[in-house]
Amino acid sequence: MNNSYKVILIGDKKTGKTAYLDNIRYSTYNNEYIPTMGVNVHPISLNTNYGEYIFKIWDTAGDDKYGGMREGYYIEADACIVFYTENSDHVKTDKLLKKFLEINPDAEVVIVWSKYDQENERNYIENMSYTPAGYKYIRRNNYGCFQVSVLSRFNLFEPEKYLLRKLTKKVDLYFGDHIMSSKL
């Protein structure tokens, strides 16, 4: 059984990709912004009712200055989590996703609107959701889509669960206790 998947975090700078991964791994939250240089790779363990799965998470740099090999990191990925915030560069992020899908046409995609603890972020999505066009826009082609907060841990594991259900084709997969292990 293949129980290991390569998952890329994509998004503009300061959208919370590294904060998200750190919180999953260590339950920590750091207010300070330290830009990612190139990429950092960390495996995480997901404990489910179907046993253990591993996501090898590739946390890429959003800042073009530190992009490193960029598309080189996307090769042979199984899935990506695409991070947006109200003020991030959506056009640029859409282009990154397009590039990702050119390289991995069959990969699974999930959209994250991060920093849900902030009122402006919540209002932004709520206003967008009023119109069908706005709704389509925030969901980007009907991919899975979640509002997430690292700070309050709101919906933290929903993107993982969504992706894992798609990748394993097990619609009733759920997480047990001790979802993550940072032992890896």
Write the binding mask 34 to 53 for Mg ion: x where contact by CB under 5 A, - elsewhere: --x-----------------
Q: How far is the CB of 17 from ligand GTP (least distance, A)?
A: 4
How are the residues of the chain apportioned to helix, strand and coil, as percentages rounded to the nearest 5? 35, 25, 40
- Longest CA–CA span in the chain (Å) reads 45
| Residue 70 · residue 62 · CB < 8 Å | no
Cα 16 to Cα 3, 127, 178, 183: the distances in Å are 27, 22, 23, 23
Number of residues near ligand GTP (by CB under 6 A):
23
Q: Residue 177, SS3? A: coil
Query: Among all residues, whose Cβ is closest to ligand GTP?
Result: 62
CA distance 172 to 18: 29
Q: Region of 51 please: left (phi>0), alpha (psi -120 to 50) or beta.
A: left
Determine the interface stretch with Mg ion among 32-40, 120-128, 155-163, 168-176 (rule: CB under 5 A).
32-40
CA distance 170 to 15: 30
> Which positions from 61 through 90 interact with ligand GTP, judged by CB under 6 A?
61-63
Write the binding mask 120 to 149 for ligand GTP: x where contact by CB under 6 A, - elsewhere: -----------------------------x
| Residue whose CB is less far from ligand GTP, 104 or 149 | 149
Interacting residue with ligand GTP among 54, 151, 155, 157 (CB under 6 A): 151
Identity of the residue numbered 16: G
Q: How far is the CB of 60 from ligand GTP (least distance, A)?
A: 7
Residues in contact with ligand GTP by the rule CB under 6 A = 11, 13-19, 30-31, 33, 35-36, 61-63, 114-115, 117-118, 149-151
Residues found near Mg ion in the complex (CB under 5 A): 17-18, 36
